[in-house]
Amino acid sequence: MKKIFKFIAFLAVVVVGGFYIYAEYFKPKERIEFITQKAVKKSFSNKVEATGEIFATELVDVGAQVSGQIKRLYVGLGDKVKKGDMIAEIDSSTQQNNVNDKRAQLEIYEARLASAKVALEISKTQFEREKTLYAKSATSKQEFENAKNTYATNEASLREIYAQINQTKIELNTAEINLGYTKITAPNDGVIVSVQVEQGQTVNSNQTTPTIVNIADLSKVKMKMQIAEGDITKIKVGTPVEYSILSEPNMKFKTVVSSIDPGLTRLSDGTYSSSSSSSSSSSSSSSAVYYYAQSIVENTDGILRIGMTTQNTLLVTKVDDAIVIPSLAIKKEKDKSYVNVLKGDQEVVRVEVKTGIRDSLETQIISGIDEGDEIITSQGSSSEIAQMVAKANRGPR
């Protein structure tokens, strides 16, 4: 039995050894294959992708400055208005009564003024007469003092009436202004984008200024783009922007960056506070940071609406006639860049290159290779290359 086991073990060693010798010395080796891509010359640009939102450049809250019932509402949602157009009218009964009351009060004071002027003139004449007589000892001191006091009293009364008239004029002016406030007009040209009251509703201006409508100038709109922290330093005022909207993805619009907010989006939106920043530093370190780049966009055709989402491509740098190769072909070693170039007769040449701008897939080559050079992007045996090609054709799952 032992002899049988020894024979089987010997036979296994011979088979394994024979297979190894065959594979190592006699089996033909697979040829190394290369996947290459030609270096091409083309217009090449470095772009930043960002999502944006449309805002009104000028959004005005039109409110009521007096209390009362909305007697009439002249506009509806979406109406276009000009500066001075009627928006709404508040029942003016209270304000009109106040104006009438102040006017009547003013008339009373003006009548008193006329009477006071006559009284002052009479008392002045009497005082001058008593003064002359008293100088000649033709009247008593008491009579002289009485005339003097009467004259002074009438002078004071006249000044008081003048003050009352001035005060009443101010009150009348205020009452007339409040009466004017019952007619609410558009402060500027625009479109009614929100109506916040209904006809017949009572508004109270004593607590908070009630908003009647919101008017927006939509001839120009503001596009606010969220730029990632890693890209914000690439963006400048004047950077060209190409954007589209969800309803018209194939329609491309063009504009430029008009401003860049100095702080992150939460600061611009008013949701950032220095007191909370320290306590949330650990959580914020793992969350993305964005900054607003803004653009003022002409909207004469009215396609853009408040709140629309935009898909934006910001053209950071553009180079005409750039030599471009796939980024995956570039190898880094000690701050230098290299690519493998396939020459004739399957000769592989390692070339040092100087790179320029890049996007997510390709890189500009400033020096080291020429247009048409065969750049090796991958290499392997025939079976390995076949597997890679098959996998690429299947695509991601």
Mean pLDDT for the chain?
87
Q: pTM, whole model, 2 decimals?
A: 0.69
Backbone angles phi, psi at 363, to 5 degrees: -135, 140
Per domain, the residue ranges of the chain are 32-42+320-394, 48-57+217-269+287-315, 61-91+183-216, 92-181
pLDDT of residue 34: 80
Domain 61-91+183-216 has CATH 2.40.50.100: yes
What CA–CA distance (Å, rounded) separates 234 from 192? 38
Question: What string of pLDDT tens digits covers the 397 residues of the chain?
Answer: 555 555 565 555 555 555 555 445 555 555 677 888 999 999 998 899 999 999 999 999 999 999 999 999 999 999 999 999 999 999 999 999 999 999 999 999 999 999 999 999 999 999 899 888 888 888 888 998 998 999 999 999 999 999 999 999 999 999 999 999 999 999 999 999 999 999 999 998 886 778 999 999 999 999 999 999 999 999 999 999 999 999 999 999 999 999 999 999 999 999 887 655 555 554 555 588 999 999 999 998 999 999 999 999 999 998 999 999 999 999 999 889 999 998 877 788 999 999 998 887 899 999 999 999 988 888 765 555 556 555 555 555 5
What CA–CA distance (Å, rounded) separates 52 from 48? 12
Torsion angle of the four alpha carbons 172, 175, 181, 187, in this order, in degrees rounded to the nearest 10 = 30
The 3-class SS string of 201-240 reads: CEECCCCCCCEEEEEECCCEEEEEEEEECCCHHHCCCCCE
Residue 242 is encoded by which pair of tokens?
């190409």
Which homologous superfamily is 92-181 in? Helix hairpin bin (1.10.287.470)
- Who's near 235: CB < 8 A, 6+ residues apart? 48, 227, 257, 260, 293, 314, 316
pLDDT of residue 130: 86
Q: Do domains 32-42+320-394 and 92-181 have the same CATH topology?
A: no
Give the type of residue at 24: E
Burial class (CB in 10 A: 0-12, 13-18, 19+), 114: exposed
Residue 351 is encoded by which pair of tokens?
């070339």
Architecture in CATH for domain 32-42+320-394: Beta Barrel (2.40)
Burial class (CB in 10 A: 0-12, 13-18, 19+), 376: middle
CATH class of 48-57+217-269+287-315: mainly beta
